[in-house]
Every structure is written in structure tokens, then in C-alpha cells.
Structure 1
Amino acid sequence: MALSNMACQAAKPKIKPYKMADGEGLYLEVTPSGTKYWRLKYRLHGREKRISIGAYPTVSIADARKAKDELKKEISTGTDPVLKRLQAAQTNALSQQLDFKSMAMEWYWKQVPLWKPKHADIIKHRFEKYVFPSLASFPLADIKPLMMLSCLQKIEKTAPDLSRRMKGLCSHVFKYAIATGRAESDPTYGLEAAMRKFKRGHYASISVDEFPEFLARLNGYENRVNRQTFLALKLLLLTFVRTCELVEARWEEINFEKAMWVIPAERMKMNLPHIVPLSQQSLAIFRELKELNTKRDFIFPGYYNPRKYMSKNTMLIAIKRMGYNGKMTGHGFRSLALGILKEKLGYPHDIADRQLAHVPKSGVDRAYDRAQFLPQRIKMMQEYADYIDNVR
């Protein structure tokens, strides 16, 4: 029998909750506290479920029956009203912070565990410097392609390569927002067509034929530069590691007995440990540095703050003062070494390239141990150092 308003009002609380049926699954539940709730019992996919409609008398009998009819229509199409309500609540919760900065930082913190700390700091700095000043407070839905383009064009005036990197990062933010139901489109899509065309250049490096003159200038510069800086340049030449891998090196990475330098994975670009066989010439330089910086954690401590490592720009400035501004860089030692190993010493590309810590393109090769070709690399590094000693 259908409930009447009088029956609902007269229902008294009992020790335990009880139900008063209205029909078609709708009932009024009376709790021990005296509160009365409308609920609908239904079956979907073979399972019995319940959904709350509201409290009586705020929701009247007529309103409860109307809500019941609407819910039954949804159920008849296979829609679960409980699940629908949960999804709506989640979407509403996620929609509370829809401005670009909040979304970007939410995406950022999702990625941080996957990144190296230094890379994470760079990404955060770039958002704060280049994107947030223009877009931080705008709701995602209000950011249109033209606004995005305007922001990126400010960057590309001085850094066209960075503008494309920032476009990619912003695209990741919008794709994350789309995946989590808080955006419908990515305004960065297709913007490269309106951005300045440019050709990526390589790091400046001298050729193998120019090396003798460069080496003569480097040796002649020995008494005109800080000793640590000179030794750093010599080691960069002898080991051809990346500049950051050299200046951030710690003494615990150097094994003098085995003549090996093992750079840990967290300091390598490809997140894999790298073995650098040390020639007798390299070992001699490390021993001199050990005498200079015995009590320091870093092999190349900073000049003004020895608790930190030396600035990467220190060597670049020294190279410029040698007269090689725009002609040679710290990274250029890697290209130079590859040329000497292949052209002058006849080593195959695979062995030389592995010493550069480049990851093989082949998935099969990537599965091999990083010490592959190690005996050949030990021999190669000593021959390379001896070649440099004999260059005239």
C-alpha cells in the first residue's frame, strides 16, 4: 500500500531502523534517532542495490516518487545511478581547482617520482618563469589556442628551441586534464604551424685537424688559469664525459686500484651506470686533485662554496678566454674524441660510442650489460691518452 503523508509523519523511531514500503522499491527508512530517509531498492546486472533519494519531509512523498520514476528510467537503460552519482561527485571534486597553475602543478607532482631531482627543478623553474606569468590564473576552459600561442611566442623570441619544449610540457598538462575529466581539448595542438621555423644546431666543436693547435693553446694556458680549472679541462679531454658528469663527480666514484671511474645511474643522462676506464694520465690528474681537495666530497669543489661542486660555466669561460668562443664547448670534447678514436686510432663506432654512454638504438643491444666491450675500452682509453701526449 502506498504511503500517505499522515503515515510518514506519524512514524515513530524504534530501537532498530525499520522500513515503510511505498511500492516499486521505494521505501521510507526510519532510524533510531527519528530521522527519515527515502531510499530506492533496485536490481541491476543480477545484484540488489540501494540509493538514497533524500530526507523526509525535505523531500516530500510526491518528490520521492518523481525521483523514483527518473531513476528507474536510468536503470532500464543499464545505467547504475549509484555509480553515476559517484562519478559526478569525483568530477565535481576534481573540478574544484581548474586554473592552469593548479593543474600544471598537479601533473608535475605526478611526474616527480619518475624524474631526477635536477630535471624536476628545471621543469618547475621553466613553468614558473615562462608560462605561469601569462596563464597561471586562467581556467583551463578559457585558455584558447591564440592565448597559448601568444605565451609561446614570447619565449621563442629569445629561445625558439625552449618554446617548443614548453609547448610539449603544456600539452602534457592539458592531456592529463582531459584524461581526468577536467578539460575537453588541448589548445597547444597544431600550434607548431604558427611558430618560427628553426634548425637545431650541434654543440660547437673543433675538428680533428684543428686539435693540435687547440691542444697547444690549452697547454700554453696552464699558467694563466686556476689549477683546478686546468685539470678539469684536461680530464674532460681525456675522459670525454659530459660536463655535468665531471664537475659533480665525488671521490667515492673513483677506484684508483682498478683504474675505473663508475658514474652512478642517477647522475647519467640515460639513468644507467657508466664505467670510465682511466688511463695512466687520467689517474695522475685525479691523484693531484686528491692532494688539492683531500677533505672535500666533490672532486671539483666550488671556489666560493666548497660544499658544492664547481660551476659548469667555469670551463666554458676558460675555453672562451683561450680564443675559442663559439668554436668549442665542454660537450665538444665528446665529438672531438669520437673523431680521433675513429679517424686516427681506427676504433669501430660501436666501441667508441659505448664509451660516450650512448644507449644503443637496438632493443637487443640495450639488454646487454653496460660493461660490454670493457676490455677494448680499457685499451682504447690508454691509446687515446697516449695519442694526445704525442700530438704536435
Structure 2
Amino acid sequence: MLTHIRIASAKPAPKPYNLADADGLFVTVQTNGSKLWRFRYRFVGRQKTLHLGQWPSVSLADARTRRDEARRNVAAGLDPAQLKKKARDVAKIAAANTFRAIAEEWYRKCEDEALAPITLRKIRWLLDIAYPTLATMPVTDITPPDCIAALRKLEGAGRRESARRMRSVLGRVFRYAIHTGRLKDNPAGDLRGAIAAPIVTHIAAITKAEEAGALMRRIEHYTGHAITVIALQVSPHVFVRPGELRRWAWEEINWEQAYWDIPEEKMKRRIPLRVPLSRQVQAKILQLWEITGGGKYLFPSFRSALRPMSENTINAALRALGYAQDEMTAHGFRSMADSLLNETGLFNPDAIERQLAHQDKNSVRRIYMRAEFWAERVRMMQFWSDYLEQLCDDLPPVRSSAAAQGTRPTFGPGPSSMAHLAHD
């Protein structure tokens, strides 16, 4: 049997030679002096050799332990060489299925699905925060505590809402791994309550008619860049999300039927929205055409006509009007319309929800909400613009109008004569 001294003192020769131990174990001394452990055995009538590692990284005692394990496998009808190959293949798969590898694959899928750029940026930001903790770990090795360790980075910084969103992103990555056959269970699936709940903060908005009237009067007298002025004036009338307004493209306007078609890739919920254009909005659009009609966007950036207006432009204008961030925001026009339109009682709440592009949490109700309520929304949007005008003029609230009785707004001769320009 071999000893440590005998192995250490073995010198290389012109040809490799073996030093036998016992029960099929031996060490091969290579011509370069390296010494490799091997185990010779018979399996299904064939003589085979299993490589056990290099001395001294694998000591004599370790080599004997590995030999004994291999002998037990042979006795159990298992081929040690095949078991080793399978373990190596599993390790390779695990290395290729790290959290980063699968997350990046899932992210490319999100890009292919044309998620909104702002959504992709948020996902990338959250993944970059999670990577130091999870990136190199095989997804099959990740446990709920590992996920919590990544979430704690945001929670500890007081960013509870971001931690909640990261939990969602982690869950989506793991679900993708499950769907592609690389994971069985979602380690982020049962983390609800594991981190502190976000502190709910409502979007600052004016929701009382008198205050809305005061706001509209201030907007009417706002002075600034012409594009900003019109953007601020149009915002309360169409009450879309600020990102949708600033990326409004001329090609999205239907001049003949007076509506704005917002494609799904620009919408938060990935559901396209059609916005009826009231007579007041039509007038502003015709006014804006003289300024930006030759470009891509209704409200282009001041620096480049190829880019949309900055996301902070409307909020900056509201600050200039004297409204603090906790009083009114560009997004607040949506809450203002939601509250005041529902207060009138003149319109189906589902029509209001559809125009706001909200998605109901109830799956059955979502199916019902697919109904467009188009005719009612056309009347509602004209009513809303008339109402805002009357609030601006400090008149009593509107209780009925031609819009509510069924009159549909139209651009008239102006747009039809301009329609060919918009598509040249």
C-alpha cells in the first residue's frame, strides 16, 4: 500500500508509470512530475478507469474515500464514471442557469415584447440592485432568505415601494425559469409580509370644483414657451398620463373623426386607448400645428424635435403657477377628472374608468370592462371640457350640456384640409 512519503518521493520518468495502492486505487506519475489518482474497476464485464483528482490536492486519505464510494456504487449497479459525468453536466447547467443568466434572458424577452422604455429602465435598475446578492447563484440554489437579503437593501434604505417592486421582478424571473424548465419552485412566491409594507402616498391632486376652477384660471393666464402653454392647457382636458401626453405623435390623430389613438406600446397597461378630442382640444391642436406640425411630436423637446418634451415640463409649469408638489402634479389631472366626473352622476363609472385606462382587479369585471362605451366617452369628453371652461369662468357647475345630449365634436373644415399635411 502507498504512503505519503512514497508518493512524495516518486520522480518522473521518460514514460508515465503507476504506483498501486489497494482495491483498484493507484496513482499515475506523469512525465512532467504531476501525480494523478485513478481507480480501476469492472462494470458490466468491462474494465474501466475513474479519475479521482490530482495529488496533493486530493490526499491519499481522500483518494481512498473516493475509491470506497466508487466501489459502493459499482456494488449497487451504478457506473461511477457515468455518475461523475452526470454530476459534471449538472454543474455546467447550473453555471449556465445562474440568476443573472436567466434574468438577462427574461429581460430580453421583455424588450421583445416592447414594454415601455420607462418600465424597462425600472426593471434594469432593480436587477442591478439584486445582482450583487444573487447574480452568480444557480436559480436552483436560491432560497427565500436569499431573496429577502436582496430586498433588505432597499427596505433598509427606506425604499419600501421599490422593495415591493423588486419582489415582483424576482418572482417574474423565477416564474420564467419555471416555464423554461430550469426551476421547480418559486423562492420569491411566499415573500408577502416578509418586508415592511410600503407607506401609501396619494398622488397630489385637486379634486374640488372650486379649487379646480381656480387652477384652470391660473392655467389660462400662464405665460411661458408656447409649446408648454398649450401642453399645460390641454393636460386637464385629456387627463392621460404625463408620459402619454408628452409622447403624443401627430400621426396618432384621426383628423376626420376627432380622436387620438394611443398605441399599446405607449400605455402603462399595454392596452391601446382612444381619446375623443373635444372642440376645445381641437382648437389647441390646430393652434399647435402652426408651431410643431412639421415634426413627429405635438410637444417636442426644446433641444431636439426628434425627442418628446421633458417629463418634468408640466410639473415645472405647475410650480411656476404656485402649486407645491404636494398640492398638484401633472398626474393629478387624472384624479381631478376621476373625482369630478363621478360626482356629476351623468356618466357610467365604467366609461370613466375606461377613459382613464384603469384595469379592474376583478377578472370578471375586466371582461365586462372590455366594452368601449365609445359614444358615451365622446359625450363625456366634450362635457368635461365644457365643465372646465365654466369652472374657469367661475360659473355654476354644469349639470347638462349638448355633449351630454349626444352632440359629437368635430374638427370641421380645418382638419380635413390639414389631414394630408399630417401624413406627408
Superposed pair shares fold, TM > 0.5: yes
Deviations 1:275-318 (A, max 9, x none): 11111100011111111112211111111222111122111222
What runs of 5+ residues in structure 1 fail to find an aligned partner?
A: 1-58, 75-81
What code does the residue aligned with 2:43 have? Answer: D
- Residue 307 of structure 2 aligns with an amino acid whose one-letter code is K
Q: Which residue of 1 aligns with 2:308?
A: 309
Cα gap change, 1:96/1:382 in structure 2, threshold over 3 Å: closer, same or farther?
A: same
SS at match of 1:96: helix
The residue that corresponds to 2:321 in the other structure is 322
User: Counterpart amino acid of 2:228?
Assistant: T
User: What does the per-residue CA deviation read over 1:209-251, in whole Å, with 9 as the maximum and x for residues that have no partner?
Assistant: 321222222223x22x222112112211011111111111110
> Map of 1:1-392 to 2, 5 A cutoff?
62-65=42-45, 91-118=90-117, 119-128=119-128, 130-138=129-137, 140=139, 145-156=144-155, 157-177=157-177, 188=188, 190-209=190-209, 210-220=211-221, 222-223=222-223, 225-324=224-323, 325-344=325-344, 346-359=346-359, 361=362, 363=364, 366=367, 372-391=372-391, 392=394
Q: Distance in 2 between matches of 1:350 and 1:308?
A: 34
Name the amino acid aligned to 2:331: H
CA distance in 2, matches of 1:362, 1:176: 23
CA 1:367 to 1:266, structure 2 compared with 1: closer, same or farther past 3 Å?
A: farther
| SS in structure 2 of the partner of residue 262 of structure 1 | strand
Deviation per residue, 1:87-131 (Å, 9 max, x gap): 878745422335432232133334443451523343123312x22
Structure 2 CA distance for aligned equivalents of residues 67 and 125 of structure 1: 56
Single out whichever of 278-287 and 347-356 deviates more from structure 2.
Answer: 347-356
Structure 1: which amino acid aligns with 2:257?
K
- Larger RCO: 1 or 2 (CA < 8 Å, sep 6+): 2
Could you tell me the TM-score, scaled by structure 2's length?
0.65
Identify if the C-alpha distance between structure 1 residues 364 and 341 changes in structure 2 by more than 3 Å, giving closer, same or farther: closer
Residue 178 of structure 2 contacts residue 185 of structure 2 at CA under 8 Å; is this kept in 1? yes
How much has 1:270 moved relative to structure 2? 2.7
Is contact 2:249–2:297 with CA below 8 Å preserved after alignment?
Answer: yes
* Shift in CA distance, 340/173, structure 1 to aligned 2, threshold 3 Å: closer
Between the aligned partners of 2:109 and 2:382, the Cα distance in structure 1 is: 45
Report which stretch shifted further, 134-143 or 211-220: 134-143
**Distance (Å, rounded) in 2 between the aligned partners of 1:315 and 1:164:** 28
Q: Which amino acid aligns with 1:385?
A: S
How far, CA to CA, are the matches of 2:252 and 2:188 in structure 1?
43
RMSD value, Cα: 3.7
How far is the alpha carbon of 1:388 from its aligned partner?
1.2
Q: Secondary structure at the match of 1:95?
A: helix
Cα offset, 1:61, TM superposition:
10
Cα distance in 2, alignment partners of residues 327 and 314 from structure 1: 17
Cα distance in 1 for partners of 2:85, 2:179 equals: 17
Contact 2:203-2:329 within 8 A present in 1 as well: yes
Distance 2:272 2:180 in 1: 36
Distance 1:226 1:306 in 2: 15
Query: Closer, same or farther in 2 for the Cα pair 1:204/1:117, shift >3 Å?
Result: closer
1:126 partner letter = L
Return the alpha-carbon distance in structure 2 between the equivalents of residues 194 and 93 of structure 1.
Answer: 33
Using the alignment, how far apart are the partners of 2:42 and 2:152 within structure 1? 59
Q: What's 1:31 paired with?
A: none
Deviation of the 1:86 alpha carbon: 11
Aligned residues: 323
User: Matched residues in 2 for 1:368 and 1:159: separation?
Assistant: 34
